[in-house]
Amino acid sequence: MNTTTQLLRFITAGSVDDGKSTLIGRLLHDSKSIFEDQFSAISKTSEKRGMAAVDLSLLTDGLQAEREQGITIDVAYRYFATPKRKFIIGDTPGHEQYTRNMVTAASTANLVVILIDARRGVLTQTRRHTYLASLVGVPHIVLAVNKMDMVDYSQARFDEIVAEYKTFAAQLELHDVTCIPMSALVGDMVVDRGANLDWYKGPALLELLEKVEIDNDVNTSDFRFPVQWVCRPQTDEFHDFRGFAGRIEAGEVSVGDEVTVLPSGRSSKVKEIVTYDGNLQTAFAPQSVTITLADEIDISRGDMLVKSSLNAPKVEKEFEAMLCWLSESPLDKNRKYLVKHTTRTAKCLFSRIFYRVDVNTLEPHEVEKLNMNDIARVSLKIQQPLVFDSYEIDRATGSFIVIDEATNNTVAAGMIA
């Protein structure tokens, strides 16, 4: 492995019945990412439970608190690497609270693997998982048609499932869908191609994970730089230094570029792009840098630097969004909440709930309140203007979380539409 490998974040959506744990176990096992002490622990447990072979699904077994109470605790993160890439798997177990968990895990993912049991085909949950993946804007989707060994590795069955899925998926905003027949149990088309699916000419799952293009998953055209922290050393050596520290969320910037500070609208030129490893001529997303400007203008955390010459983001106090309600206490339209959007936090009111989406049928329903796991189109009024893009254009500047000030809990996730 070298130090120039890329990092891919993906999630798996499906239930235990679809062989999700077996798939993750197979991926880790066949890519030689399982350590001996982990393997010996699950071998012992498999033996104790009277199983003939080692149950790879035990690798994703949870905490004591989960085992004792028979519950699952949302997202677990797992790590593995091949010589080509490093991977982070967001593993979201169980059926309950599925919407909340999947939205959470999908929010940082480049790719989602949606599992289907080849015997059962496209189910309600398949539609739900696909809708959520499209809602959260996961750039790449893999439909893993698992348990092909149970349908005699039939190409006709696979083609039938793919056709049905594509008809459904056409209604949604999906950009890159790959369908792979596989058997996680036997090990066909997961890491190795196996001997049973010769008719399939596309990539095996790991091959796809290793080569899917992810450089363009961030917006590369519009420069967006939310200011996180103002760096003022106030030492003799750096007496007049005033740098704006943050992470470039989209696009690129070069020394000399004209930039505008939003929401104030003032402009200046980039004087330096400072990093610990020396100043840069050009920096791009998702680098964390410190920018100094040619003119002294008032800038603080929560402001955003953008390039004056490019598409400007919106600067508004009211907008509409798709909201996923995450909290056990329902949305109360009479209450004020806090919105945290990029580096700015402000009070907000939900002025209207247009409709709730039934995640199984995609049908809209009129509702008065929102409960946990509900997804709805809403409008918000913010106490001060936010600088944003639509979520479709930029995941980083189009997303926000909602915090309940009374409990400080994160109660909702929003995507500006």
Partner 1 sequence: MSKHSLSHLDVLESESIHIMREVAAECKNPALLFSGGKDSIVMLRLAEKAFRPAKFPFPLVHIDTEHNFPEVIACRDKLAADLGERLIVRSLEDSIKRGTIVIKDESKPRNPFQSVTLLETIAEFGFDACMGGARRDEEKARAKERIFSFRDEFGQWDPKNQRPELWDTYNTRVHAGENIRVFPISNWTEMDIWQYIGREKLYIPNIYYAHEREVIRRGGNVIPVSHLVQPKPGEKVEVATVRFRTVGDMTCTAPVESTARNVDEIIEETASTRITERGATRMDDQTSDASMELRKKEGYF
Write out the binding residues for partner 1, residues 176-235 only, by CB under 8 A.
Answer: 215, 220, 228-229, 231-235
SS3 category, 344: strand
Q: What separation in angstroms does the CA of 407 have from each of 46, 292, 337, 338, 368? A: 42, 38, 11, 11, 23
Site residues for partner 1, window 381-410 (CB under 8 A)?
395-396, 399-401, 403, 408-410
Q: Which of 3, 70, 195, 265 binds partner 1 (CB under 8 A)?
A: 3
Binding to partner 1 by CB under 8 A, coded x per residue (else -) over 51-70, reads -----------xxxx---x-
Binding to partner 1 by CB under 8 A, coded x per residue (else -) over 320-339, reads ------x-------------
**Alpha helix (H) ranges present in 136-286?**
155-169, 205-211
Contact by Cβ (8 Å): 402, 413: yes
Contact between 271 and partner 1 per CB under 8 A: no
Contact between 340 and partner 1 per CB under 8 A: yes
CA-based diameter of the chain, in Å?
76
Contact between 417 and partner 1 per CB under 8 A: no
- Please report how close the Cβ of residue 44 comes to partner 1 at its closest, in angstroms: 11
Q: Which of 22, 57, 104, 134 binds partner 1 (CB under 8 A)?
A: 104
- Please report how close the Cβ of residue 314 comes to partner 1 at its closest, in angstroms: 18
Residues 6+ apart with CB under 8 A from 62: 72, 73, 76, 93
Residues 211, 230: Cα–Cα separation, whole Å = 39
- Please report how close the Cβ of residue 22 comes to partner 1 at its closest, in angstroms: 18
Site residues for partner 1, window 284-313 (CB under 8 A)?
284-288, 301
Nearest to 164 by CA among 212, 127, 200, 205: 127
**Alpha helix (H) ranges present in 190-349?**
205-211
- Please report how close the Cβ of residue 374 comes to partner 1 at its closest, in angstroms: 14
Q: Which of 15, 30, 74, 154 binds partner 1 (CB under 8 A)?
A: 74
Interface stretch with partner 1, choices 1-9, 150-158, 167-175, 193-201 (CB under 8 A): 1-9
Give the nearer residue to partner 1 in terms of CB position, either 247 or 266.
247
Residues 324, 345: Cα–Cα separation, whole Å = 19
**C-alpha torsion sign, points 84, 88, 93, 97:** negative
